[in-house]
């Protein structure tokens, strides 16, 4: 009997290898369809649901971020981009069991913002590029998304993944555009 909880405890011995295998298979079956309780952003990312990703990011940004976090002027420095980069990277930590997560590494002809390399061939690789909306460079936040996606292509950020045998058809690319507390993911 456990003195703290009052629960009864038993010691068990498995009689042979066949019984051990039976228990292993039975327990694995219980958890076969289990998936961790990821945050809503990660669930949307894994499902490639850009609408839900946008909803989550804008909801969180509006409710929790300050203009001092995201910058009062859209293109005053790289600080707003670093803030969002760190925030999104923090959301992805719980994917470390499924992905090798890297940040600001060289690939192709430049340095990507975030790359998720799958540990299993069942998952797609993911490349994310962040851009802060700049009135002098783009007319709309959608233009900023397109600029981020174009940078991924022009700088060939996927080349490191392709070199590891991941086909281009299994590499998803996202551009994150920011203007203060407003986020657009495409």
Answer positive or negative: Cα dihedral of 143, 145, 148, 153: negative
Extract the tokens encoding 165: 């045998």
What letter would DSSP give residue 113?
S
pLDDT > 50? residue 74: no
* pLDDT for 34 beyond 50: no
The mean pLDDT of 81-93, rounded to a whole number, is 80
Rg (CA), the chain: 22
Kindly state the average pLDDT of the residues 66-76: 56
**156-184 mean pLDDT:** 92
Cβ-based neighbour number of residue 139 at 10 Å = 9
Per-residue pLDDT averaged across 54-71, rounded?
77
Element of type H or E holding 179: strand 171-179
pLDDT (tens digit, 9 = 90+) per residue, 88-131? 888 888 888 899 999 888 887 888 899 999 999 889 999 999 99
27 or 117, higher pLDDT:
117
pLDDT tens digits for 131-148?
988 767 788 999 999 999
Contacts of 59 (CB under 8 A, 6+ apart): none
Q: Give the least confident one: 37-41, 74-78, 119-123, 148-152.
A: 74-78
Question: For position 75, what pLDDT does the model report?
Answer: 44
């Amino acid at each position: 009997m456990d003195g703290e909880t009052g629960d009864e405890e038993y010691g068990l011995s498995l009689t042979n290898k066949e019984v051990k295998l039976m228990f292993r298979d039975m327990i694995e079956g219980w958890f076969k369809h289990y998936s961790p309780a990821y945050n809503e952003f990660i669930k949307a990312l894994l499902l490639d649901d850009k609408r839900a990703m946008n909803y989550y990011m804008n909801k969180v940004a509006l409710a929790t971020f300050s203009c001092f976090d995201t910058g009062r002027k859209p293109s005053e420095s790289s600080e707003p981009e670093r803030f969002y980069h760190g925030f999104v990277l923090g959301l992805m930590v719980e994917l470390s069991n499924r992905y090798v997560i890297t940040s600001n590494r060289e690939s192709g002809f430049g340095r990507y913002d975030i790359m998720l390399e799958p540990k299993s061939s069942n998952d797609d690789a993911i490349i994310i590029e962040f851009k802060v909306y700049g009135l002098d460079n783009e007319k709309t936040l959608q233009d900023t998304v397109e600029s981020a996606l174009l940078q991924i292509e022009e700088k060939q950020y996927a080349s490191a993944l392709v070199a590891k045998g991941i086909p281009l058809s299994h590499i998803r690319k996202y551009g994150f555009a920011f203007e203060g507390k407003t986020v657009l993911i495409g």
